[in-house]
Structure 1
Amino acid sequence: MPAKTSKKKKRGGAKSEKRKAEKDSRKQVQSALKHANAQADPLSLLPEALLGLSLSPEPSPRVGDEASDSTNGRVSDGAPCFSIEHRASPLPQHLLDQCLRHFEVNMGALYKRSNWGLDMEGKRLEMEHKNARFLLALKRRGGAAAGEGTAEGDDGGESREAGDAGRQRADDADAGAEVIGFAHYRFEVDDEDRPAHPVGYLYELQISSRHQKHGLGGKLMSLVERISSELKMEKVMLTVFKSNVGAMRFYERQEYKVDESSPSNFEGGETCDYEILSKSMTK
């Protein structure tokens, strides 16, 4: 006759299995985040065809919301108008300053009217976080791309000299680069759900007022999504003010839904002035 197992033992075993499953899940999440954050250039994981988009050469000035829709733009003679590049924190100071200016111009009034208030120093620290990742739409003098002109020689010394010269040219090009749009995102743990899972969290999507309504916001958004999908993030999440009607419409068109963790899903949350939106990256 088989030994009897008490209900207490069964319950204890179930709890133990649950704890083990949660521990294994946490390990998997941390492993996914470590792998994602180790990628020097996530754009290299994507098909080249995703990185190009033909645009009008110089959009006319137009003021709109920050989540407006332009990628490697090309003028009529085929020369690049701008390029999209991936950068990890810390950004060079002049690029960071431009990103902050776009944020303040596009979002300053909305933040001032919100419960959060406008805290530019806090926003700077957020963008300087060690895990901050950026997709920058950069326009350079003469349309030069970073690293353009780098040469290799047969002689090792000459190659090093050529490489140094190429890096210097890239630095010079960077110094004169104009940020016309950017996406700031991170790979994080969404621990509101059980089990927790890895997500790509979009902190900012900002386009200069002169380059809005030309597809750049949509392009940057799609690249954040593809990168997140390639790196096994389960969804892309973001926070948006309810009063930012243009942004809400933009994200609706991108098929974002109110996330289950959004304040509006909880008692009293209807008075909150923002929503958390998300889009699944799992197939």
Structure 2
Amino acid sequence: MAPKNLSKTDPIDHANAKSLVDFERDYLPPRSSYTPYVIPSRSPQSEVDIELHTPETLSSAELTTLLDLVAKTSGKHYRASAMGWNQRKKRAEMRLRDLKYLVVRGRGELDREGGGEGKDVGGDEKEGEKVGEKGEVKVNEGRVGRDQAVVGKKRKRTTDEDADTEKSPPNPSEKQPPEILGFASFMPTYEDGKKVIYVYEIHLEEQLRGLVSIHNYPIQSNPTPIFQLQSTLTSNPRRTKLSQTLMSLIQHAAEKIPGVEKVMLTCFTANAAARRFYERLGYEVDEFSPEPRVMRGGKEVRADYMILSRGVGG
């Protein structure tokens, strides 16, 4: 648990108190280092944007879209686990004030082609993944801290936001934001007394399968707090999946926040594709991952989730 009475100079408390503009400036790589993405079988004019948000800068409808994506890509794993699927609790967790969101939006051809089934970021399988419930007794727990959401217009919240309500139909007279196609969420926090970044979720729509970046092809800096990744075709590219880019942004923040020791996440044991994905990124079973229990008669029972982590520095 996080220590009480954090000082104003505590790096975790300080990071969570920053505005999104300051968080991006201090902890994320410059936009000039971002690279374009190729969208297979689509126009080279297609674009993908990654936006930095907090729960306060996401509208109720946008938060519902993210929640629906979690249910679509990971509902099966939740329901098969001991924790089950509770949409109301998950929505409450997704509104924790210290959470940061990297929201993926499609534009141009990609945006017009519409959605698809959710995908597992770890491989070619269509199963989703869940990467953020806090282990053992910490499942569905969060840490409340300070947040200043000053990027863009702060969106109004409705009084029924905690309820599992249906999405309101879009108003055709109003300009609608580009379609949300995926997201990752994370939080600078304490875990067992150590400074960490905990990854809560990472989910992508099926239509982003195979989306890869073209390295050494920097884009122009964007004056707005949005990471714009414009697709361009080139020969013999070095391939990096969008899911890897999202994880690398989180890892970069962990490297920049003073004192952070590791990036942690939770993965369902049954989600072999997700575990392979994380292992390729250097994640290993964490020391605080639950150990198998030996029952009477010698039967070994394994938990339905594991905690993975990757160290910072070195």
Distance 1:270 1:213, change over 3 A: farther
Which whole-Å deviations, capped at 9, do the CAs of 1:27-82 have from their partners, x for residues lacking one? 5797111111022233323332575232223668xxxxxxxxxxxxxx634xx612
1: CA distance, partners of 2:103 / 2:268: 23
2: CA distance, partners of 1:29 / 1:190: 19
2: CA distance, partners of 1:59 / 1:248: 28
Q: In the alignment, residue 36 of structure 2 is paired with which amino acid?
A: S
**Unmatched 5+ stretches in structure 1:** 1-22, 61-74, 145-166
Distance 1:134 1:174, change over 3 A: farther
Query: TM-score, normalised to structure 2's length?
Result: 0.61
2:103 equivalent in structure 1? 136
1: CA distance, partners of 2:210 / 2:275: 15
Q: Does 1:230 align with 2:256?
A: yes
Q: Shift of the alpha carbon at 1:129?
A: 1.2
Q: Does 1:119 align with 2:86?
A: yes
Q: Shift of the alpha carbon at 1:251?
A: 0.3
Contact between 1:141 and 1:176, CA under 8 Å: does it hold in 2?
Answer: no
Q: Which has the higher contact order (CA 8 A, sep 6+)?
A: 2
Which whole-Å deviations, capped at 9, do the CAs of 1:110-154 have from their partners, x for residues lacking one? 11111111111111000011112111112246899xxxxxxxxxx
Contact between 1:188 and 1:199, CA under 8 Å: does it hold in 2?
Answer: yes
Percent identity of paired positions between Structure 1 and Structure 2: 28
250-259 vs 175-184, greater mean Cα deviation: 175-184
Q: Which has the larger radius of gyration?
A: 1
Q: Shift of the alpha carbon at 1:26?
A: 8.5
1: CA distance, partners of 2:270 / 2:8: 34
Q: Does 1:271 align with 2:296?
A: no
Q: Shift of the alpha carbon at 1:197?
A: 1.8
Q: Secondary structure at the match of 2:270?
A: coil
2:191 equivalent in structure 1? 190
1:44 equivalent in structure 2? 25
Contact between 1:255 and 1:279, CA under 8 Å: does it hold in 2?
Answer: yes
Q: Does 1:34 align with 2:34?
A: no
1:280 equivalent in structure 2? 311
**Unmatched 5+ stretches in structure 2:** 112-151, 157-172, 212-240
98-107 vs 51-60, greater mean Cα deviation: 51-60
Query: TM-score, normalised to structure 1's length?
Result: 0.67
Contact between 1:256 and 1:279, CA under 8 Å: does it hold in 2?
Answer: yes
1: CA distance, partners of 2:176 / 2:265: 31
Q: Does 1:261 align with 2:288?
A: yes
2:49 equivalent in structure 1? 83
How many residue pairs end up in the alignment?
217
Contact between 2:292 and 2:303, CA under 8 Å: does it hold in 1?
Answer: no
Distance 1:47 1:117, change over 3 A: closer
Q: What RMSD, in angstroms, separates the aligned Cα atoms of the two structures?
A: 3.3
